[in-house]
Copies of this chain bind each other. A is one copy, B any other.
Amino acid sequence: MEARIVEIRKGVLKKNDLLAAELRQRFQQARVFVVNLVSSPGTGKTTFLERTLRDLRGQSLRVAALVGDLETDNDARRLAASGAPARQINTHGYCHLEAEMVSTHLEGWNLSEFDYLFIENVGNLVCPANYDLGEHQRVAFLSVTEGEDKPLKYPKMFNSADLAVITKWDLAEACEFQLDEAVKNLHAVRPDLAVLKVSAKRGFGMEEWMRWLAAAREKMQKPETVVP
């Protein structure tokens, strides 16, 4: 890659970081807890998010979602079926979401009316790792069908995550998935990473996810007091 491009890429990332910092401040002021969901295509992010939106609404929490894809608005329609406001971001060929796209697609929403905002990124284990969207927490998904080695091959994505969710647990046996091996590889790139296993299709593991989410949100709302 040419030096000129590296320089310009740095500029783009810097601009994104500044916009992401502004977004984070807006989210904080509105007291909305924001989660960025990242993974390969087809790990079941949308099914998981659909169920999450339903479950949170069942607890009378106010939720909304943005979902990124190169093309189609299938996922926004799937998510909207939960009753939550959901908007599609089409990147038309771009391989990741950027803070600016998020900002544009928030227009007209009063963020303080939401407890949670979920941003489902473009399915891609590489590029989204570099783009902060101002989220509070980044959750990386790994499906049992993908193989235990993915954290080692795509280290930046798992290193930048706050939680790893192993999906499609109902297929673990059929795939001869080795959980110990996967966790070892996750911890090789991020030693303290929390790991959950779920099957959104069967409802398995969702309660633990709900607990993680509530605890993370509570932490955001009560920043550590400065020792006088």
What residues of chain A have their CB less than 8 Å away from a CB belonging to chain B? 1-2, 4-5, 8, 12, 40-42, 69-72, 74, 93-95, 122-127, 143, 145-147, 149-150, 152-156, 168, 170-171, 174-175
Cα–Cα, bound, A141→B78 (Å): 25
Question: Which chain B positions have C-beta within 8 A of A1?
Answer: 94
Q: A1-B94, A12-B5, A93-B156 are in contact. Are A123 and B72 (CB under 8 A)?
A: no
Copies assembled: 2
* Complex Cα gap A168–B171 (Å): 12
**Separation of A170 and B145 alpha carbons in the complex (Å):** 12
A69 and B123 within 8 A (CB)? no
Q: B residues within 8 A CB of A41?
A: 40, 125, 146, 150, 153-154
User: Which residue of B is nearest A47, CB measured?
Assistant: B147
> Which residues in B have their C-beta under 8 angstroms from that of A168?
145
Q: Which of chain B's residues have a CB closer than 8 A to the CB of A8?
A: 4-5, 8
